[in-house]
Structure formats: C-alpha cells, structure tokens
Amino acid sequence: MDVTRQGMEPGTRHASSSLRSVWREAVLGYLFIIPSFLIIVVFGLYPVLRAGYISLHEWSIVKGRFVGLLNYRDLFKASDFWQALQVTVFYVIATVPLTMMLSLVLAYLLFRPIRFRALFRSLYFLPYVTSMVPAAMVWQWIFNSQAGILNAMAGGIAKGVAGFLRLAGQSPGVYIWVLLMAAWIVYVSVTAGRRTAFSVGFQLAVAGILLLVGVIFLRSPGALQETVKQLETFFPVRWLQEPRGIILFLGKKWGFTPPKWLQGPSMALIAVSIVSMWHFTGYDVVIYLAGLFNVPTELYEAARIDGATEGQIFWKITFPLLSPTTFFLLIISTIGAFRSFTMFYVLTSGGPLKTTTSVTYLVYDKFYNDAKWGYASAIAFVLFGIILVMTLLNQRLAGRRVFYQ
Amino acid sequence: MDTVQQRKRLELIAPRTVRSLNRALLYTVLALGSIGTCFPFVWMIITSFKTYAEAIASPPTLFPKDWGVRLTVLGQMLRSYPYVLLIFIAWMALGILISRKIKDKVIAGIYIVAHLALFFILGNLSWLGHHRLFDLWQATMTRAGITLEPISQNYVEAWGRAPFAAYFKNSIIISILTPLLIVVTSAPAGYAFARLRFPGKDVIFLLYLATMMIPPEVLLIPNFITISELGWKNTYLALVIPFIANVVSIFFLRQFFRSIPNDLYDASVIDGCGHTRFLLSIALPLSRPAIVSTGMFNFLGSWNALIWPLLVTDKESMRPIALGLASFSTEAGTQPQLYMAAATFSIIPVIVLFLFVQKQFIEGIARTGIK
C-alpha cells in the first residue's frame, strides 16, 4: 500500500522563476481545480450545511416550522433509533472480524507460489464486482424457506449428523469419545511448552467443549435423544423472514428462553451478514495479498534458517508486519458496514419486525416512506457523528500499536 | 504440527508425500472456497433454466429435469446429422488454435466462449435454409415425438416482461459518461494538487479529503431537493452530474502524477511544452493503469447505484438496470425462474468487462485500497 509513495516535491526546482510565471501557474492551478471544486461544493459540501438546516426543522416534503434540536431529542428518545443502532452494531460485529479472518486465511494460502493463483483471486473477487441487486435476488432464493437450496442441503447434513449421533449414543461410542477427548487434552497440556499460546488455548478450548458434550450425553441419554430429534427437525429455517434473535431461536429449540438482552441478532440479520461476508471477502483477500507481498522475504528466510516453524513464522513475523493492512481494513470495513444500505434494502427491506433496519435504512425509511425529512436528516447527522468519532478513536488507539515497516 | 517429535514422525512418511499431501489440502481448501463464492452464480443460472413448476419444487432439484431429455435429443440429432458434429469439431479446433495465439489466458478463455457462441449464431443464419441448427433440432424432436420448450424461453419471457432494453441503454449511458467525466474533472485537479503551486492549495486539498468522511446518507435529502429545484428529475443530468467529481479518483491520480519524475517535465519545457500540454500528452498517457482502475471502479459504482436513481427517476424509461431489476423482482416475485434469468443477463456484461480489465483493476485496488 504505497499510497504515500513520494514523488519529488514538484516546483521546488523552479524557485527562481519570475513573478509572472508564478502568477500564471496559480491561475492555471485554479482553472484546473474549478470543475471538480464546483461539483464538490454544490453536491458535497453545501448539502451538509443544508442537511443541518433541514434537521432543525419540521420538514415534510416542504419546509415546516423551525423546531431547533427537537428532532435530535426525539430520535434519542425513540426506540426505533436505538434498535437500528443495535442492529448496525450487531451487523458490524458479525461481519467485519469474520470476513477479515477468512480473507487472511485465504490470502495466506494464495500467497504461496501455486498454480491458478490469478484464477482463484478473480473467483474470490467476483462477488465484489457483481451488483447487489441480482446477487440479493439469488440469495433470497437460496435462503427461501420452502424451495431454498440452503435448507435442503443443511437439512440433509443435519439428518446425517443426527443419524451418526444416534448410532454413537447407543454403542460404547460415547465412552470412546470422552476418553479420546480427555487424551487430547492431556497430550496438549504435556506438550504445551513447544507450542504457541494461541495453539494451546485453541486446542484446549475445542477439546474441552467436545469433552463436555460427551460427558453431558453420557450422564443423561435423554439429552442425546432430544438433540437428535431437534437436529432432525431443525430445518427448514426461515432465514430472511425469521425475526427471532439467534440465541432465542437456538435456545427455544432446546427449551431455554434467554432474557431479552441476550436474544442476540435476529436470524434474518445473520443471513444478511452471511451475504455481506460473501460480498466483501474478495476485496479483503486482495488487500491482504498486497500486504503479504510487502513483507520482505529475507525475514522469512532468516527465520527458516533459525529453525522457526510455520506457525511461529506466521504469528511472530507475518501477522505483526501485516498490522498496517489489518488496521486499514478494520477501519474501512467498519465504516463501510456502518454505512451499508443496499444490502439491507434489497435483501430484507428492513424487516422482519424491523430487525434488519440499520441506521442508514432508518434514514431512508423516515425520508422515503414517512416523509419526515427533518427527522431523517437528524438521524443521518448522528450517524455522521458516530462514524467521525470512530475514525478518530481508531486512529488514536490502534494507530500507535500498529507496526510500520 | 510444530514439534520436533512430530517432524520426526512425519519423516517416516517420505517428505515428498507429505508435501504433495499438503499441496492437495491447499488446493482443496482454495477450491472449496471458490465453490462457495461461485455457487450463487451457478445456482442462479441453473434456476433460470428450470420450468416454473420445477423451480418452486421442494426440495429443489440440482439440475433442470429436461436437461436429460435435451441431451438425448442432442445425441439423436448428432446421429442423424453427423456433419453437424464434424463441423462443430472443426470450428472449435479453429477456435482453440486462434485462442492459443492470445497471450492473456483470461482473454483467451473469453474468446473461446465467444467463438462457441458464434457457432450457434452462424448455424442459425437464414441462408442455411432447412439446415439451420434450430430446424435440425426441431426435426429430431418431431421424429422422436418429444415436445420441449426452447431452452431460452425464460430469458425471452423475462426480457419481454419489463423494458430491459431501456434499462440497459440508461445504464450504459450513465456508467460510461460518469467515469469519463470523472477523468475530465479529476485529471486536472489531481495534476494541480500534485505539481502546481497556488495559494490555498493545501486547504482546498484538505477540504476535498474531508468530504470523503461524509456518509452519502447525509447528502441524500438535500441533493434530492437541489435536483428537484434544478428541474433535473428524470434526466441523465441528475444521474451523472452529482458524481462527476470523485475525491478518491483525484487523490489516486494525484499520487500517480507525483511519481512522475521532474526531469520529464523539465525536458518537455525545453521542448516548448506547458503544463496543459504536459498533462495531456505525457502525464495522462503515463497514468493509464491508474485511469483504468479508477475508471472501472466508477463504472461499477454507477452501474450498481440503486438508491439515488430510485429517488431521482420515476419514469420507467429513465431507470438504470439495477433499479429496473429490483422493481422487476418485486413484480415477478413469485416466478423465480424469470427473475433468475433477468439477474443472469444483467450480471453477465459486468462480469465480462471485469474479466477484461481484472488484472489492472485488482492491482489498482491492491495499490490504493480504494473502495
């Protein structure tokens, strides 16, 4: 990412030029800038002031009375704004880190000298160039609750797993399972000294959870029966039409009702996030690949000579040196996710039960459907403020910890 | 994976085997990933060839049922008219021969597809009389006593259900005009910021950069009012003019112009070249990669724009394809095979264009991270 690549500071070599030519250069400069300046002022800067002006009024298609900051007070009181903000935050949390992790893995794999690298890169990038409208039409069809392929395939897999569990539950399979997991934990703990902390922690967590599942099934065979039954009837899920939160949705199936604050993002929002990941992974892969190519190869060679393992090389060299890229992507994707509108508009139109109404969608909804222009402008301004604060905070906090080469 | 013990154990298996196993694993993961990203496209195309009854069937069929029948008909046709197969093989051999002369593999691939398409176009020309491919196909079907709808039926029907020709025309006009005008405004601006000295330059540049922070939602309502006041609703002006000054493109071109060595400018001054001439005949041609990649970006931006066209157009005949398709999908919502066909023909031009410029485009993004 050599956006800051320096050319020679131009002009410095003509310091001796006459006043007349300085004057001419200045005029030429203004002439060169005028076309873009006019457009930017008329359609980029003036509208901000005007939006501020509108947000201080009751404004429904035509200007109404001046209300001062009432629109802002109203929006902070209104539950729909807070719900929209919550939806947006859930969306950011569900998409940004996962997309980045997935793309880092893909980029790391693509970074090796392999065949068809350009082909793979283009294939991953394809979703990013396709228009969201046809893409959303396809995804709606994939997510369709009756005829959708996702429910059909996932349902098939769930039935297979259920069948396997039923078989394993009847035989001494569970005992073997529990013993195996326990052995894994012991093995990882004994050899912990030779592994990175991340690897140990990750393996212990996975083995622990699997061990726990085994123990639960061992102690109460009823739970196993129930799980098998639920797995078999889990699909079809209504995906884009499912307003219930994911924790509530999953919990209900196993007879657990979480409190209201723990219901999590709606299944519809999860589905939207999946589409969003599909759309943006290719972009992140390309950026990460560029970052990987910027890491000097001498570092890898030196590390290999010193006997570093692949894991160590990744965590101690690649990952820290990629931190500017990661940081850049984090900012860009977070702001992008905060602003994303089309995704919600074409996939769910804010529904079901407004559980996918993001802040930007709310702006559109208030403006286009409710004709509350003043109120919509106020929301847009608050969103602007949030994005501004986030960018500045990001630059302050993470900016210092990032490794620059 | 990273302990000494394990390495020793792995060496019991030949290291070469381990390496090729790793390699196989790597390719499997990458292939699975690309299947994941491409699946929606594949599914879109498959659904667009199904009949209505089959499209809404639950559980869905993996391939259209009549494809099997079509294959048998094709087999019979080739058996009755073997010269078709011979001509086809010769034609494709020619195509492969030509495509091997093309260096860029992607473009060679596109050429093969175009070559194949040309076979069907030429094969249906009227001067072939009753030897046209379509007639042979019909004759085979009549003889076998099979009736099948033409394979393109959904596409023809979808195309006729909405004014797609107008949508495409609008989209093409908007998405070619916008990037062109962006170059017209950004090249001089980028050049001025990169190489000219004038009072207030830094302030203006900061102002430009600051506009990048403004979310488009803030601008939506006031710009909508401005456009209405100007009386530009339902015109191309409304769809193009607000977007022809693009700060990202200006910034990008500025970076590019800065990297042009000063000596080049000095040399051209000696040859009697001013700044304007230098920009037009040296700086711009040198920055072709930059222009291609921002151009592609701005093209995609206008091609995919949805919310702004929705606000400023209410006439069907002025709508671009993204918007037209969105309203078509609400209208044909119960007919998935139709809107999948419409989605297919609206995606294909963009994909083909992307394949042509993908290398410069992707590298442009990698270099600047514009989004």
**CB distance B60–A147 less than 8 Å?**
yes
Pair (B220, B349) in one structural domain: yes
Pair (B137, B163) in one structural domain: no
Strand partners, A66: A57
Of A171-180, A289-298, B310-319, which one has max mean pLDDT?
B310-319
A339 at B interface, C-beta within 8 A? yes
Q: Residues of chain A with pLDDT > 90: what percent?
A: 35
The pLDDT, as a whole number, for residue A172 is: 77
Instruction: For residue B320, give the nearest of B307, B332, B333, B303 by alpha carbon.
Output: B303
**CB distance A51–B336 less than 8 Å?**
no
Residue A336 has pLDDT above 60, yes or no: yes
Residue B53 lies in a domain: no
**CB distance A130–B329 less than 8 Å?**
no
Burial of A140 (0-12, 13-18, 19+ CB in 10 A): buried
Pair (B137, B98) in one structural domain: yes
A64 at B interface, C-beta within 8 A? no
What's the rounded mean pLDDT across residues B161-179?
94
Strand partners, A59: A63
Q: The tokens of A247 are what?
A: 């924790």
Distance CA B37, CA A281 (A): 9
Instruction: For residue A125, give the nearest of A337, A276, A285 by alpha carbon.
Output: A285
SS3 content of chain A, % helix, strand, coil (to 5): 75, 5, 20
Pair (B163, B263) in one structural domain: yes
Distance CA B227, CA B208 (A): 22
Q: The tokens of A147 are what?
A: 């005829």
Q: Which CATH number characterizes residue B321's domain?
A: 1.10.3720.10
Instruction: Show residues of chain A in contact with B223, CB under 8 Å.
Output: 43, 47
pLDDT tier, A276 (very low <50, low <70, confident <90, very high otherwise): very high
B162 φ/ψ sector (left φ>0, alpha ψ -120 to 50, else beta): beta
The pLDDT, as a whole number, for residue A8 is: 42
Instruction: Show residues of chain A in contact with B355, CB under 8 Å.
Output: 122
Instruction: Show residues of chain A in contact with B358, CB under 8 Å.
Output: 122, 125
B54 touches B65 (CB < 8 A): yes
Identify residue B104 by its one-letter amino acid code: D
The pLDDT, as a whole number, for residue A256 is: 77
Burial of B97 (0-12, 13-18, 19+ CB in 10 A): exposed
Pair (B94, B194) in one structural domain: no
Instruction: Show residues of chain A in contact with B57, CB under 8 Å.
Output: 147
Distance CA B357, CA A326 (A): 27
Strand partners, A245: A266
Pair (B283, B222) in one structural domain: yes
pLDDT tier, A7 (very low <50, low <70, confident <90, very high otherwise): very low
List of residues 6+ apart from B350 with CB closer than 8 A? A129, A130, A131, B300, B303
Distance from CA of B35 to the nearest CA of A (A): 9
| Whole-number average pLDDT of chain A | 85
Among B177, B196, B313, pick the best mutation site for testing chain A contact (most A Cβ within 10 A): B196
Residue B199 lies in a domain: yes
Residue of chain A whose alpha carbon sits nearest to that of B227: A43
Residue with tokens 């400023």, as numbered in its chain:
B312
Tally of helices (H runs) and strands (E runs) in chain A: 19, 2
E strand or H helix at A58: strand A57-60
Give Cα separations from B364 to A122, A332, B48, B254 (angstroms): 14, 17, 34, 14
* Angle, in degrees to the nearest 10, between helices B216-230 and A373-401: 140
Distance CA A270, CA B247 (A): 34
Pair (B243, B341) in one structural domain: yes
List of residues 6+ apart from A95 with CB closer than 8 A? A273, A276, A277, A280, A333, A337
| Residues in A 267-286 with any Cβ partner in B closer than 8 A | 278, 281-283, 286
Pair (B251, B286) in one structural domain: yes
List of residues 6+ apart from B62 with CB closer than 8 A? B46
* Residue A251: alpha-carbon gap to chain centroid: 25
Distance CA B73, CA B68 (A): 9
**CB distance A125–B362 less than 8 Å?**
yes
Residue B318 has pLDDT above 80, yes or no: yes
**CB distance B38–A126 less than 8 Å?**
yes
Residue of chain B whose alpha carbon sits nearest to that of A32: B188
A82 at B interface, C-beta within 8 A? no
pLDDT tier, A51 (very low <50, low <70, confident <90, very high otherwise): very high
**CB distance A346–B57 less than 8 Å?**
no
Residue with tokens 């569900």, as numbered in its chain:
A94
Residue of chain B whose alpha carbon sits nearest to that of A6: B259
Pair (B231, B263) in one structural domain: yes
Instruction: Show residues of chain B in contact with A50, CB under 8 Å.
Output: 222, 225-226
Identify residue A374 by its one-letter amino acid code: G
A54 at B interface, C-beta within 8 A? yes
| Whole-number average pLDDT of chain B | 87
Pair (B122, B189) in one structural domain: no
Q: Which of A69-83, A333-347, A391-405, B180-194 shows the lowest per-residue confidence on average (mean pLDDT)?
A: A391-405
Q: The tokens of B332 are what?
A: 């044909």
Residue of chain B whose alpha carbon sits nearest to that of A115: B27
Instruction: For residue A334, give the nearest of A287, A279, A394 by alpha carbon.
Output: A394
Instruction: Show residues of chain B in contact with A28, CB under 8 Å.
Output: 192, 196, 198, 275-276
**CB distance A282–B40 less than 8 Å?**
no
Residue of chain B whose alpha carbon sits nearest to that of A62: B225
Q: The tokens of B62 are what?
A: 């993996």
Distance CA B321, CA A263 (A): 39
Distance from CA of A147 to the nearest CA of B (A): 5
**CB distance B43–A138 less than 8 Å?**
yes
Instruction: Show residues of chain B in contact with A32, CB under 8 Å.
Output: 188-189, 191-192, 196
Distance from CA of A380 to the nearest CA of B (A): 5
Residue B324 lies in a domain: yes
Residue B57 lies in a domain: no
Instruction: For residue A276, give the nearest of A98, A66, A72, A61 by alpha carbon.
Output: A98
Distance CA A320, CA A323 (A): 5
Instruction: Show residues of chain A in contact with B260, CB under 8 Å.
Output: 7
Question: How does pLDDT run across B227-263, given as a tens digit for each residue?
Answer: 999 999 999 999 999 999 988 889 888 988 888 888 8
Query: Which of B215, B221, B325 is closest, CB to CB, to A377?
Result: B221
**CB distance B214–A114 less than 8 Å?**
no
The pLDDT, as a whole number, for residue A399 is: 57
Give Cα separations from A133 to B25, B63, B321, B349 (angstroms): 35, 24, 9, 15
| φ and ψ of A370, to 5 deg | -100, -10
Q: Could you give the domains of chain A?
A: 79-142+267-401 (1.10.3720.10), 146-236 (no CATH)
What's the rounded mean pLDDT across residues B103-120?
87
Question: Any alpha helices (H) in B49-152, and if so which ranges?
Answer: 52-55, 66-80, 82-101, 105-123, 133-144
Instruction: Show residues of chain B in contact with A11, CB under 8 Å.
Output: 195-197
Identify residue A273 by its one-letter amino acid code: S
A138 at B interface, C-beta within 8 A? yes
Per this entry, what is the length of chain B?
371
Residue B55 lies in a domain: no
A16 at B interface, C-beta within 8 A? no
Residue A361 has pLDDT above 50, yes or no: yes
Of B92, B122, B151, the domain-final residue: B151
Q: The tokens of A344 are what?
A: 């919600």
Q: The tokens of A88 are what?
A: 């947006």
Pair (B93, B239) in one structural domain: no
Please give the tally of structural domains in chain B.
Answer: 3
Domain of B146? 66-151
Instruction: Show residues of chain B in contact with A121, CB under 8 Å.
Output: 362
List of residues 6+ apart from B57 with CB closer than 8 A? A147
Instruction: For residue A96, give the nearest of A237, A284, A232 by alpha carbon.
Output: A284
What b-and-e string marks burial along A312-338, b requiring 16 or more CB atoms within 10 Å of the CB? Answer: ebbbebbeebbbbbbbbbbbbbbbbbb
Distance CA A80, CA A291 (A): 40
Give Cα separations from A362 to A84, A154, A345, B275 (angstroms): 7, 33, 10, 48
A362 touches A385 (CB < 8 A): no
Distance CA A21, CA A47 (A): 37
**CB distance A133–B1 less than 8 Å?**
no
List of residues 6+ apart from B271 with CB closer than 8 A? none
Distance CA B43, CA B109 (A): 22
Residue B58 lies in a domain: no
Of B117, B151, B185, the domain-final residue: B151
List of residues 6+ apart from B160 with CB closer than 8 A? none
**CB distance A368–B196 less than 8 Å?**
no
Of B131, B151, B171, the domain-final residue: B151
Residue B61 lies in a domain: no
Distance from CA of A304 to the nearest CA of B (A): 13
What's the rounded mean pLDDT across residues A277-290?
90
Distance from CA of B37 to the nearest CA of A (A): 6
Strand partners, A63: A59
Question: How does pLDDT run across B5-54, given as a tens digit for each residue?
Answer: 554 444 556 777 777 888 888 899 899 989 989 999 999 999 999 999 88
**CB distance A110–B30 less than 8 Å?**
yes
Q: The tokens of B6 are what?
A: 């394990």
Residue B333 has pLDDT above 80, yes or no: no
Instruction: For residue A343, give the nearest of A127, A145, A197, A22 by alpha carbon.
Output: A127
Pair (B231, B205) in one structural domain: yes
**CB distance B194–A7 less than 8 Å?**
yes
Q: The tokens of B23 are what?
A: 């390699």
